[in-house]
Structure 1
Amino acid sequence: DIISAIEFDKTGDHLATGDRGGRVVLFERTDVKD
């Protein structure tokens, strides 16, 4: 699979990637403090 689209939201907390097959994967940033 080759990623053909990448999009961030305005806050940068979410990222979406997509391919030509129509699959979309969503990522969410979580800040963890030690």
Structure 2
Amino acid sequence: IPTLIVKKDGNVVDTLVGYHTKEQIQKTLAQYMA
């Protein structure tokens, strides 16, 4: 099962499990990048 764990400052802030489109992944990552 594909899993993407998003961390910020060493803490897990979001987890995506299963299939997601490129757009869904980009939208999720954009929330935490800046």
- TM-score relative to the length of structure 2: 0.34
- TM-score relative to the length of structure 1: 0.34
The structure with the largest helix share of the pair is 2
The structure with the largest strand share of the pair is 1
